[in-house]
Each structure stands twice: as C-alpha cells, then as structure tokens.
Amino acid sequence: MSKEKFVVEYDFKTISPTILWEFLNTPQGLEEWFADKVERNDKEYTFYWNKSPQTALLINSRVGVFVRLRWKEECNDRTYFEMRITTSELTGATMLSVTDFATPDEQEDLQELWDNEIERLQRRLGVL
C-alpha cells in the first residue's frame, strides 16, 4: 500500500517564529518535545525514544522557515516529514504546518501522534 501525503496546521498564536525555529531545528529544542535525546552530525539527525535510535537525513531546509527530513530506512521512498513556520495573513498568528506521509490505514494514528507531540511543544512554549 502506498503512502499518501497529509498536512496538519497548528496555531502558535503570538510565539515568535525565531523562537519556534529553535525548537524545530536544534537538538536541544527537539529534545524539549519531540524525542528523549537528539544528536545531529551535519545532515544526519539521530532521535532516541526509550534509548532506541532512529536516524533521519536532512534533505532540505531554509533557516527560520522549514526543515524537511527523511527517515534513513525510507531513503528509497519519496516520503519525508516537514515542519514549516508561516504567519497567518488573517490574524498575524505564527502557524506550524506539519507534512508527513502515511498509508490510509495509518494516517489517523500518525496524525494523532503529531497532535500529541505538537501539544507538548505548545505547552512548553506557553501557548496552551
């Protein structure tokens, strides 16, 4: 079964995009909400959950705007996950868009996982 792209958007209200960027791009920031431990070696990120590592390769980024990673075991795939910072034209709020890929039967679970992780980040930044 092939994976399909999905995008979810989260409101970070008045949080500075510069502050949010530090939580998306740096090992220290990612350890605050995404993984137990994060190591970065050039374009390779190693994420640890319960001491179990999973490696992702940085495939594209623009400072202060987005970071796009691909899980190393999916390197033959065209899939990736991306976290992108935007500003709402209507409200001026800082928004975070997450793009990921999942099979239709996994999408709901993966979106729930992202919802939970982003909620941790929002709590850490005082949005919730």
pLDDT (tens digit per residue) in 60-98: 999 999 999 999 987 667 899 999 999 998 899 999 999
Q: Taking the C-alpha atoms of 22, 69, 108 and 32 in order, what is their torsion angle to the nearest 10 degrees?
A: -30
Whole-structure pTM value: 0.92
60 contact partners, CB below 8 Å, separation of at least 6: 66, 67, 68
- List of domains in the chain: 4-124 (3.30.530.20)
pLDDT, residue 12, reads 96
